[in-house]
Every structure is written in C-alpha cells, then in structure tokens.
Structure 1
Amino acid sequence: MDKLEFPLPGSDARITAFRYGTPGARPKAYLQAGLHADEFPGMLALHLLRGMLERAGDRITGEIVILPQANPLGLEQHPNGFLYGRHDSASGQNFNRGYPDLAPALADLPLGPDAAQNVAMVRDAMGAALAAMQPETALDAMRHRLMVLAHDADLVLDLHADNQALPHMYTGTPLWPDAQDIAAEIDARAVLLAEVSGGNPFDEALSGPWWALARARPEAAVPSACLAATLELGSNDDVDLRLAEDQAAALYRILERRGMIEGNPGRLPGALCEATPLTAMAQVKAPAGGLIAYHRQLGDTLRAGEVVATIIDPLGTSVEVTAETDGILFARHSQPYAWPGKVIGKIAGASDLAHRRGLLLTD
C-alpha cells in the first residue's frame, strides 16, 4: 500500500490517496467517497475496504486507488457547528459539477481497427490534456487532481449518499447492462441511466468521452474503456458499522468479479430493480412553503396522481403534492420543511417525462 499526498494550492488542504497492487498494472480501479463532503456512508465503507485490500496482498492483480475523503475543501466548511460539503462556499459551485471536458483533446487522434491500441492512445491523450491544464483555484486544482488520478482507470466508482434514500445508482446508458453486477451488489433500488445528465459530473467526465468518441468515429474500434458510476449508498447520515461492513464487502466482490482481485465472489445477488432513464425520474417539488407531512415511505410504489405528501402552512392552508409518474419512491428530504420548488422526493419512473431535459440532476 502506498499513501499519496497532494497539497492543494491556495489552501492548507491536501488530497490523500491510497494505492494497492502494482502501479500501472491492469485492470485499474479507482474508488472515491466524500466528493460531497457531507455525505458520509461511503467514507466509512472505503475505510473498511482499505483493511480488506491490505489483507488481500498479492491477490490484487492490477492497481486499485482509494480516496476515502476526496474533498478536503468541503471538510473545512463547518460554520455554525454544521458541515456543509455539497457546494464550495467561495464560489457556490457544486463539488460534483464542472469537471474538465476531455473529449476535444481526442477529436483528431489517428484511431484504427485495433481496440487495444486505440484505448492506449486515448488514455495517453487524456493524460496529456490534463498535464497541459493550469488550475487557478483550489477548487479547480482539486477537480484536476481527481481527474489525473482516475482518467486511465478501467472502473471508477464515485460513492455518494442522498438526503434520505434507498441505495441507488447513476451511470451512462452505454454502460448498461455491463454495470448490472454493480447495481446488484449494492442492492440498488433504482438505476438511473443517461448519456448527458448536465453539468459534467465526475463520473460522466471520465466515461462520457469514450462513447462520444465512438459515435464521432464509427470507423474506429472504440470501446467504453472506463466504466464510471455514481453509487448512492443510502442516506447522508447513515454512519453504521454493520451496514458499512456489508457495503465494503460488496465493493470487494465487485473488484473480484472485475478481475482486480483474485478470488471467488460467489453467486451474484438478484437485481432488485430494472434500469430506467434519468429523464423518467420525477423530482417531487413542493408548490408552496410549509411543513412536509409525508404519506408514503421510501420503497413505496406509487401511481401517477397519488398523494406523496401534504405541505402544511402553520399560518394558513395546506396543499397536497402528488406523483406525476408511476414508480418507486427512492429518496425523500430529511428536513420536513419546504419552500416553493424544493425537491422533497424522487420517483424512479419508466416513461420519459417531457419536461425532463437539460440539467437532470438536483444541484
């Protein structure tokens, strides 16, 4: 195990990465947690996974890079005794948006029919493009360093958690069904697929250039050589040792199934859901301000028109909030107070919603 430290300019913060296996060996896996620094379950899961990897020793066949806390800047943001880690306090930017677009650096590569040669060429070009960048702020330097560490990985798992949620997963449409084993291992109750979700989040910045290049260069052999996914491991504040042990074991089995570690992961669990388009996911928004009284629980299957919650104005009237699509309620908000437009729930539906275009993720 190698411990790698990367100071961020303009800040006392530093990124810490742990590397297992042989540097440069294949296949390469990159796992990080805490990109939104106030989402905690993944941090504990990766802490426990590190111990498992240390015990694995020579059974690690490739290279595995682990960042239990990928966002040291967000961890410094705790005014008034509360950690705020979703947005950068200096710029207001979401820590999981605005990653470099590497696709333009790949446009003129002399690609041919040999997929392995093309993959090596693309990864070299990505590395050169990143090496030429000169980040000016600590936030951009952090984004840049994470991309440098992950850009050449075969597998990238970005561990998050939602406000109050069941385990679920976001990944690129071209990566499905190849990513089915990942969804099954984490007991995902929703799998949301999109090619472009908007804002260039971390996982899409790594996997998206591959399918964009394949579409632009149909004469060349361009595989999706980076399977990147965002894994939402439940609710933000679910820091529980027993749950984290199960999550770390699931991540270890994923690495075994994908050839990063020698071993027998056992039979793959059955899938708990079908994958659905992100454009079919309904964001349940409050039409007014007031207290949120939920009528439905996480995991409930809803029909369009059914009441999800009532918004109660303590000084006035109440209004019901209904589901706009059939599907499973997989996320809610833990703070039971709303204002107009606040997202108070998410429903994984199967049919595209006409208004779900452009920026598809909650900022």
Structure 2
Amino acid sequence: MKTETIQLAGDVPGNHIELRVLRFAGKDEKAVTAYLQSSLHGSELPGQAALHFLIPMLEKAEREGRIAGDITVVPQANPIGSAQWFSHQHLGRFEFFSNVNFNRSFPLLDTFDTSGLVSLDGPKPLAERLKAQLLRLALPHEIVLDLHCDDESENYLYIHQAFLPEMYDLASSLGSTAILSWNSTADAAFEEACAHPVLQLPDSKRDVKRRAVTTVEFRGLSDVDVATGKADAEGLYRFLVHRGVVIDAAVKLTVDFKGPVTPLENVEMVRAPQGGMVLFHVNIGDEVEAGAKLVTVVTIPGDPSGDVTLTAPQAGRILTRRSHRYTRRGDDLLKLLGSKRSEQARPGSLEA
C-alpha cells in the first residue's frame, strides 16, 4: 500500500487541509478497479469504521499478490467538514461559509477527462477545489462507493436505474434491505457526478456489468462499533472479490437481494407541520398500512390538544427516522418506502 498526502491550501494564508489517499496497485491491467471513500459529511462514521477494518484485509491480499485491480481508498474524504464544530456540536453536513451541502454541487463532466477541473491551487474556494480533487481520484475507476449513513436507518443504497439489476450483488454483499433508485437528482451529488460521464456513453459502451456507482447508507450515525465495522468491511471485501478486484478463492457471494427497489418519487418524506417534541409510533423496518400512526409532535407539553399526529399517506416500509427528538417546523422526520408516487414528490434529492 502506498500512502499519498494531498495538501490543499486554505482560503486565507496560514492554513490548509490534508487529504490522505491509500493506493493498492493491481497486477492485472484488465481487472476492474475500485474507489472507496467515507465521511464526506465529516461525522458520518460507519463507513469510516468499515474502511478501518477493510484496509488491513487489503494489505494482506496485497502481500499475497491477490490485488487484481487498482484500489484507491480515502477514509476521510472531507477534512473541512470534519473540523467544523460549534458549541460542542459537530456540524459536518454543510460548509460553514456557503451553507452548501458538501455532497452537492459537484462538477458534472460529460467525459472522464478531468483536465478542465479547477487545480489544487486554483482561484476557487477550498470546498470547490476539494470536490474537484475527489472527482480526479474517483473517475478513473469503474467501481465508486461513497460511504455515508443516515440518522437512524436500515442499511440501504442509492443506485441509478442504469446500473440495475447488475448491482444487486452489492446489496447482497452488504446486507442492504432496500435500494432507492434514481434517474436524475439534479443536485449534483458525488454519486451523480461519478455516474454522469458513464451515462453519456451509448448503452452498448457503458459496460454496467463492470461498473458500480453508488451511495451506501450504512445504517445510522450511532451504529459505530467493532463488530459492525468488521462485518461491513467483510461485506465490502466480499463485493470486491465478487467483481474481480481482489482474488480470494475462499470467498463466495450468493446474489439474493429481495428488498424493495423504490424510485425516489415513491419515497414519502414525512415532515413536521409544527415544531415540538417528537414521539415516534413506528420503528425502523416496520411495515405499515395507509393511515397508520407514524409520529406525534407535541407542541404544548401537558396539553394533548396541542398534539399533532402524522399518519402514513400510503402503505410501505419505514426506512429511516431522525435521531433528534425536538424538531422545527418543516423538518424531515422519517422516510417511508411506498409502492406508488408520493403526492409530495418533487425534483431533486430527498433531503437538503
């Protein structure tokens, strides 16, 4: 393994960030190559834990000559967001200066040529230069896995429709319970930016049996422990073996994903109509009928007349819940996977 430290100057004199990049050289130039990154939102750590345990597995494979395709790993993809703390709270989702989500507004390139991206020392803000550098690292690879997590959640994937059903192998390997399929988010997340040049190719040249581009949602923010990290690492390793990036005769994958594949427009985003205390009636993974109680927002503690109870707009599966229990008006509270288009469906990503 070779470790590279890429330094990006800050936006004012006297500060900079460092991006740690781990590279494993493959011995077969025809093998599939892979890029894995985590913590684009700073404190989303389940993916970082998985990479922490995966890297020694890859080092062992490298020592034994079993790395077939090049592998690039960036365990901490966002040093800017990782350093953003305010009043003892970590706030790594949005850049403080612009208030732009770190996983939005990536450049959408029509080809894999990254020469036109802003350089490391170009006249652009640090966040834009970091996004350009992450794309330069990722786009040479056929497999791109961006590891995230939700608040409280099952393990699920975002996958463009063009890569399905070939990517059921990843869902099977990671034990994902659901796939959210998309056509165009229009918000230029990292996944979309990495898929975009592939989607500009004619169908005959996309070679989606070799490609995999996805956002992995490794459960919730607090699902970080040794056993879970090791299990997720084994899932990633199993997928890399299955796709021929790593050689390991002892590892086999049965593709048996049977979870729902839900278009983004079928996801019900249940939002708080008023602020107050949140009391959930459902748990992650529950199957509910239309009209079932989902959550009560208590607006006047001690006076039930102020309770606002939200019900399921259609039957479906509870995929995520928010981890906070005190909410503002308009906040997202949970995701419900429905079988038909949500009446509230709108273009773009599900969340800010």
The equivalent residue for 1:245 is 230
The equivalent residue for 1:200 is 188
Which amino acid in structure 1 is aligned with residue 263 of structure 2?
A: P
Give the Cα separation in 2 of the matches to 1:238 and 1:96.
21
Q: Does the alignment pair 1:320 with 2:327?
A: no
Counterparts of 1:5-16 in structure 2, within 5 Å, are: 5-10=5-10, 11-16=15-20
Q: Does the alignment pair 1:336 with 2:325?
A: yes
Give the Cα separation in 2 of the matches to 1:281 and 1:39.
22
Q: Does the alignment pair 1:60 with 2:60?
A: no
The equivalent residue for 2:284 is 298
The equivalent residue for 1:266 is 252
Which amino acid in structure 1 is aligned with residue 139 of structure 2?
A: H
Tell me the CA shift for residue 207 of structure 1.
Answer: 0.9
The equivalent residue for 1:351 is 340
Tell me the CA shift for residue 130 of structure 1.
Answer: 3.1
Sort the Cα spacing of 1:135 and 1:99 in 2 relative to 1 into closer, same or farther, 3 A: farther
Tell me the CA shift for residue 289 of structure 1.
Answer: 1.2
What SS is found at the alignment partner of 1:311? strand
Q: Does the alignment pair 1:27 with 2:55?
A: no
Counterparts of 1:131-142 in structure 2, within 5 Å, are: 134=122, 136-142=124-130
Counterparts of 1:279-294 in structure 2, within 5 Å, are: 279-294=265-280
The equivalent residue for 1:77 is 84
> Unmatched 5+ residue regions in structure 2?
none
The equivalent residue for 1:49 is 54
Give the Cα separation in 1 of the matches to 2:337 and 2:162.
19
Tell me the CA shift for residue 269 of structure 1.
Answer: 5.6
Give the Cα separation in 2 of the matches to 1:6 and 1:190.
36
Q: Does the alignment pair 1:254 with 2:239?
A: yes
What SS is found at the alignment partner of 2:24? strand
The equivalent residue for 2:164 is 176
> How many pairs are equivalent?
339
The equivalent residue for 1:130 is 117
Listed one character per residue, the Cα deviations across residues 230-253 of structure 1 (whole Å, up to 9, x for unaligned) are 000011122110010000000000
Deviates more, 1:10-19 or 1:312-321: 312-321
**Does structure 1 retain, via aligned residues, the 8 Å contact 2:187–2:348?**
yes
The equivalent residue for 1:210 is 198
Give the Cα separation in 2 of the matches to 1:332 and 1:221.
40
Give the Cα separation in 2 of the matches to 1:44 and 1:192.
23
Give the Cα separation in 1 of the matches to 2:123 and 2:223.
34
Among residues 188, 211, 220, which one is paired with 2:176 in the alignment? 188
The percent identity for this pair of structures is 30
Give the Cα separation in 2 of the matches to 1:170 and 1:135.
33
Sort the Cα spacing of 1:354 and 1:293 in 2 relative to 1 into closer, same or farther, 3 A: closer
**Does structure 2 retain, via aligned residues, the 8 Å contact 1:135–1:144?**
no
What SS is found at the alignment partner of 1:4? strand
Tell me the CA shift for residue 131 of structure 1.
Answer: 6.8
Tell me the CA shift for residue 272 of structure 1.
Answer: 4.5
The equivalent residue for 1:362 is 351
Give the Cα separation in 2 of the matches to 1:346 and 1:195.
19
Listed one character per residue, the Cα deviations across residues 93-125 of structure 1 (whole Å, up to 9, x for unaligned) are 10000100102xx4xxxxxxxxxxxxxxxx3xx
Which amino acid in structure 2 is aligned with residue 233 of structure 1?
A: F
> Unmatched 5+ residue regions in structure 1?
107-122
Give the Cα separation in 2 of the matches to 1:102 and 1:309.
42
What SS is found at the alignment partner of 1:127? coil
Sort the Cα spacing of 1:131 and 1:340 in 2 relative to 1 into closer, same or farther, 3 A: closer
**Does structure 2 retain, via aligned residues, the 8 Å contact 1:279–1:360?**
no
Q: Does the alignment pair 1:153 with 2:158?
A: no
Deviates more, 1:227-236 or 1:10-19: 10-19
Give the Cα separation in 1 of the matches to 2:312 and 2:3.
48
Tell me the CA shift for residue 190 of structure 1.
Answer: 1.7
Tell me the CA shift for residue 81 of structure 1.
Answer: 1.7
Tell me the CA shift for residue 357 of structure 1.
Answer: 2.4
What SS is found at the alignment partner of 1:37? coil
More helix by share: 1
**Does structure 2 retain, via aligned residues, the 8 Å contact 1:288–1:339?**
yes
Give the Cα separation in 2 of the matches to 1:221 and 1:165.
36
Q: Does the alignment pair 1:100 with 2:107?
A: yes
Sort the Cα spacing of 1:280 and 1:27 in 2 relative to 1 into closer, same or farther, 3 A: same
TM-score (norm 1): 0.89
**Does structure 2 retain, via aligned residues, the 8 Å contact 1:27–1:154?**
yes
Give the Cα separation in 2 of the matches to 1:46 and 1:171.
21
Give the Cα separation in 2 of the matches to 1:128 and 1:226.
22
What SS is found at the alignment partner of 1:284? strand
The equivalent residue for 2:2 is 2
Sort the Cα spacing of 1:253 and 1:311 in 2 relative to 1 into closer, same or farther, 3 A: same
What SS is found at the alignment partner of 1:249? helix
Give the Cα separation in 2 of the matches to 1:196 and 1:301.
28
Which amino acid in structure 1 is aligned with residue 74 of structure 2?
A: L
Tell me the CA shift for residue 186 of structure 1.
Answer: 1.5
Sort the Cα spacing of 1:163 and 1:94 in 2 relative to 1 into closer, same or farther, 3 A: same
